[in-house]
Amino acid sequence: MADEVILLNFWPSIFGMRTTIALEEKGVKYEYREEEDVINNKTRLLLEMNPVHKKIPVLIHNGKPVCESIVQVQYIDEIWPEKNPFLPKDPYQRAQALFWADFIEKKVCVCGRRVWTTKGEELEAANKEFLELLKILQSELGDKPYFGGDKFGFVDIVLIGFFCWFPAYEKFGNYSMESECSKLMAWGKRCMQRDSVANSLPDPERVIGYVLHLKKLFGLE
């Protein structure tokens, strides 16, 4: 019996990008459904499938929902284990990968959000912290081609969505990612060579347009 896989998503979401990349890496056929107005008019299916958080992305596999992007990426890796495994087999290496994914989620994403929802001194502090966090990640990457080593994997999938948002961060933070984190930028370009990533990340110009729209919405021009 063929798998039925549906993904409810919203195109600029870094979280949604993780899941589309994961599905594409595994070569899974899925139906992509855009939540056109995810802020003001969530679809009935979204509310039914994610009643707790009412957020995208939602992965629906044979009618059963899986919510939270990092949980989805792990799930996808476990359901389709043969092709392009995301996590190493060794328990210690796996724990390290999960640690950095958690760091990105708890620190980088949270700080990133502050950049779009604050102004003045608070914004300056958020921008500064954001760069510090990226430098910690860059240090962890070191000279490896990917976070996991030679192969594109879990941590790369969790972080790469930010790459199409970097130009927006640069523009509104008034700094250059290339000067601040050149190794991380090189890593991003390397990941973009993969079809799964290139097909999942929107044009950075489109993201900038979205940010302008958000700033207007929240009165943060």
Partner 1 sequence: MVTGDVKLIGSWASVFVMRARIALNLKSIRYEFLQETYGTKSELLLKSNPVHKKIPVLIHDDKPVCESNIIVQYIDEAWSSYGPSILPSQPYDRAIARFWAAYVDDKWFIALRSILTAGGEEEKKAAIAEVEERTDHLEKAFIECSNGKPFFNGDHIGYLDIALGSFLGWWKVVELDANHILLDETKTPSLFKWAERFCNDPDVKPLMPETAKLAEFARKLFPKPQA
The footprint of partner 1 on this chain (CB under 8 A) covers a number of residues equal to 22
Candidates 24, 35, 68, 156; binder of partner 1 (CB under 8 A) is 68
Classify strands 64-67 and 58-61 as parallel, antiparallel or unpaired. Answer: antiparallel
What does the per-residue mask of binding to partner 1 show for 113-142, with x meaning CB under 8 A?
Answer: -----------------------x------
The minimum distance between CB 106 and partner 1, in angstroms, equals 9
Binding mask 143-182 for partner 1 (x = CB under 8 A): ----------------------------------------
Phi-psi region of 68 (alpha: psi -120 to 50; beta: other; left: phi over 0): left
DSSP letters for 197-220 = HHHHSPPHHHHHHHHHHHHHHTT-
Residue 150 · residue 141 · CB < 8 Å: no
- Minimum distance, C-beta of residue 62 to partner 1, in the bound complex (Å): 9
Residues in Cβ contact with 201 at an 8 Å cutoff, skipping those fewer than 6 apart: 17, 160, 161, 163, 164, 192
Segment holding 65, helix H or strand E:
strand 64-67
Out of 4, 31, 48, 99, the residue judged to bind partner 1 by CB under 8 A: 99
CA distances from 114 to 93, 110, 138 (A): 31, 7, 21
Q: Name the minimum Å distance from CB 157 to partner 1.
A: 16
Cα separation of the two ends of the chain: 52
- Name residues contacting partner 1, limited to 34-63 (CB under 8 A): 52, 61
Assess 22 for contact with partner 1 (CB under 8 A): no
Q: How far is the CB of 23 from partner 1 (least distance, A)?
A: 15
User: Distance between CA 66 and CA 73 in Å, rounded?
Assistant: 10
Which of 98, 131, 192, 220 binds partner 1 (CB under 8 A)? It is 98
Among 4, 36, 47, 95, which residue sits at the site for partner 1 (rule: CB under 8 A)?
Answer: 95
The tokens describing 61, both together, are 């596999």
Torsion of CA 38, 43, 49, 51, to 10 degrees: 70
- Select 87 or 207, whichever has its Cβ closest to partner 1: 87
Residues from 70 through 89 that contact partner 1 (CB under 8 A): 70-72, 74-75, 78-79
Q: What does the binding site for partner 1 look like in residue numbers (CB under 8 A)?
A: 52, 61, 64, 66-68, 70-72, 74-75, 78-79, 91-92, 94-95, 98-99, 102-103, 136
